[in-house]
């Protein structure tokens, strides 16, 4: 691993030491250290910094993997929570049109895209409308008032 040092230190101005966070197949970040003074970052400082950079690279990479896994978990939970209503909407479309499940899903997806709404939202609307119509049919009509 090669640390990069600024050349300003020869005159006593601000200096920087940049240590790349390297893994065998990627760079995951960098540690940048700043100081004032002449020759603050010598070869020993660079070697010492690399002792921190190696485990820091692993920690950063592990944190990235964890963040990706958590994001995927949230996506899967959301998909699992919306799947039942999507399946219900597919069933409604199949019942109305006689189409296959695949064709009903294609129709539902096309509705979602044409309305610029999420698939689960369109599915929920279809299910809610079907429930509302079914309840309206099930309610007895009020007798006419003479």
User: What's the mean pLDDT when you consider all of the chain?
Assistant: 89
Confidence (pLDDT) at 9: 47
Domains in the chain, CATH or no CATH each = 4-138 (1.10.10.10)
Q: What does the pLDDT average to over 123-136?
A: 95
Q: Are 42 and 15 in contact (CB under 8 A)?
A: no
In the predicted structure, residue 4 carries a pLDDT above the cut 80? no
In the predicted structure, residue 145 carries a pLDDT above the cut 70? no
Torsion of Cα atoms, 84 then 86 then 88 then 94, to 10°: -150
Confidence (pLDDT) at 138: 87
Confidence (pLDDT) at 3: 65
Give helix 43-97 / helix 101-115 axis angle, nearest 10°.
110
Write out pLDDT tens, residues 73-88.
999 999 899 999 999 9
């Amino acid at each position: 691993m090669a640390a990069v040092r600024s050349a300003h230190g020869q005159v006593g101005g601000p200096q920087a030491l940049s240590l790349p966070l390297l893994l065998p197949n990627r760079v995951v970040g960098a540690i940048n250290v700043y100081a004032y003074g002449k020759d603050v970052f010598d070869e020993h400082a660079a070697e010492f910094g690399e002792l921190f950079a190696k485990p820091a690279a692993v920690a950063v990479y592990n944190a990235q993997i964890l963040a990706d896994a958590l994001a995927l978990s949230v996506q899967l939970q959301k998909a699992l929570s919306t799947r039942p209503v999507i399946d219900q909407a597919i069933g409604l479309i199949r019942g109305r049109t006689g189409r296959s499940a695949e064709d009903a899903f294609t129709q539902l997806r096309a509705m979602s895209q044409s309305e610029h709404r999420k698939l689960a939202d369109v599915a929920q609307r279809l299910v809610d409308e079907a429930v509302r119509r079914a309840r309206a049919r099930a309610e007895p009509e009020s007798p006419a008032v003479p």
